[in-house]
A and B are shown apart, each in its own frame.
Chain A
């Protein structure tokens, strides 16, 4: 199937799900779907910078936060409609990502990880202390998104919109995967010196990877404002980053299918655990850590990696 056909098929399926499921399932499951779709956008973005180009950039959640506050505040303070606001907020995230990327990509793994992590914490601190803008620790109550005159007030209404956005994101990702830039990402990850020798502008590639992943995170933030009505700086923290990271690792870094599997497995897991006796709930944190540990030891290419190997063998 050609690339274009793939993209169209995915788009149609997602839109269909977005329109049909709300009529069939209780609102709670629609909420879960919306959450998973948002996580998928975040996870793809993280995969681009970490899995595709091998850079350990922890600033992802800061850009997510910029996407959320940016979209919400543009709408609430300046009346900018979502259709313009979200791309703007995502571009702002990408711009800041670019500014961070230029000095940061000079640094090697540990320093890159720490400096981007430090940036994420500084961003969280700004969200918390710039009260006149973000209402700080009180949290920001967001007004419902207005899409061409239609107000989106609940999960069922948000789902088709999120589905369309996800479809666009996936389409763009597929294009990126098959482009020269995408191939450059992988080349830089595998061996920087070889890539340099074969004419790849390593520095620019790395910067692009981080900038693009920041854009994805910003989009995910915009999606948040579609189906959530409240944001508190404490929600944008390391725990979320570790969750997205786990989704990428467990599912399979470097491929859309892998990341999707990871999002579904780790996104559905809490629901499965809900059925467990309440006394066992306290084990959740340990179980998540254990899953990540087992995944990285025994299946570093994730669940999708296992599939591909099996397919390759037969």
Chain B
């Protein structure tokens, strides 16, 4: 090879070297004009109903901000992926978004178990991870630097809220609990037990059922045999319906049934599936949003969703995708123009966001990674939802 070629090659390599040094010094996902965010949720598979509408809702919030000029002169660009709610897929999605799409932060995940699979990786790569709508218990306790979540409350929050409501409002003393034998169930149960014991009540039954249970006769018989004043349920949508049906069949409907949010993503469908109005006469459930009580909030959210996704009719669960997006936007706005991942984490830790959509403030701290600790209890008779007075706040300790 002659001298000219050698020189040319040398210059090229020098250029490459300088360029790579420069680009690695720059924050990934941030340019002069845009911030790149990796947004993901289950968009296929059995848990798609937990992900599709909430992801679209987060998207609509970002689009709304962009339409108003963006954040400090930058627009948000989304890279959307499907995590299928499994650990393997979510980890793969995270790795792709970080190392191929070079996103600034990760924003996504509806299933805590899947998110937990990626936790070690994002810790190592020091990439901020903001959960979409997962409850998050296993990934925020113990808190780790880069993982933020639980924007609609943890299972601890639901379990303790329903327990407190049962004892204080319904004057129940003997409480039966039915949960799944998975991470959600464990967290829910632990918090409920701690609160019940603390407030002087008694846990008279603890039924743990597999998530794919088909015949719920035996557990419900056990619940009935324990003669409870109230029944707490952390069941998922299908078992939750089975539970209500069996509870109705066995004539237990005078006992209040208190269901955590995950069992009733769309209350009207739940009621239709249960099919027995008598079983719904003493039904309560948790909810983290004011859109039931405040019509204007609900209308506003619906209008925004329709504008961004004209082809799809959303279910009420849609709003669960909103708070995490609001938190990200609030943090970015507070940060100004100088964006790095470390600064993002520091700013996120200082989050104290009061939105008219949420039943409580979204807060983090140096030792706290679960955003929402206050929820409301809603009475649902199959036709109308009535928000109960008092909000219920988890004290940060029960169940830990």
Contacts and interface: CB of A to CB of B under 8 A. Distances in A.
Partners in one complex: yes
Interface of A: 26-29, 31-32, 35, 128-129, 136-139, 141, 153-155, 228-230, 232, 234-235, 274, 278, 281-282, 284-285
B395 interface: no
Contact of B138 (A31, A138, A234, A284): A138
5 contacts: A29-B100, A129-B181, A278-B43, A282-B43, A284-B44
Interface string B21-36: 0000000000000000
Contacts of A154: 124
Contacts of B124: 153-154
The 7 closest A-B CB pairs, nearest first, are A26-B99, A229-B120, A137-B182, A27-B99, A28-B95, A28-B96, A230-B117
Nearest to B121: A229
Contact of A28 (B48, B100, B183): B100
A137 B113 contact: yes
Given A27-B95, A154-B124, A230 B87 contact: yes
Determine chain B's interface SS by DSSP, over half rule: helix
Nearest to A235: B87
Contacts of B118: 230
A7 to B, nearest CB: 31
Interface string B80-118: 111000111001100110111000000000000100111
Secondary structure dominating the interface of A: helix
B86 A235 contact: yes
Interface of B: 43-45, 48, 80-82, 86-88, 91-92, 95-96, 98-100, 113, 116-121, 124, 138, 181-183, 186
A109 B80 CA distance: 44
B44 A281 contact: yes
Q: Report which residue of B45, B95, B98, B183 has the largest number of chain A beta carbons within 10 angstroms of its beta carbon.
A: B95
Given A137-B186, A153-B124, A232-B87, A31 B95 contact: yes
Contact of B116 (A128, A230, A282): A230
B81 to A, nearest CB: 7
Contacts of B117: 139, 228-230, 232, 235
B82 A278 contact: yes
Given A137-B186, A282-B48, A284-B44, A230 B96 contact: no
A128 B181 contact: yes
Nearest to A138: B183
B182 A235 contact: no
Contact of A230 (B95, B120, B181, B183): B120
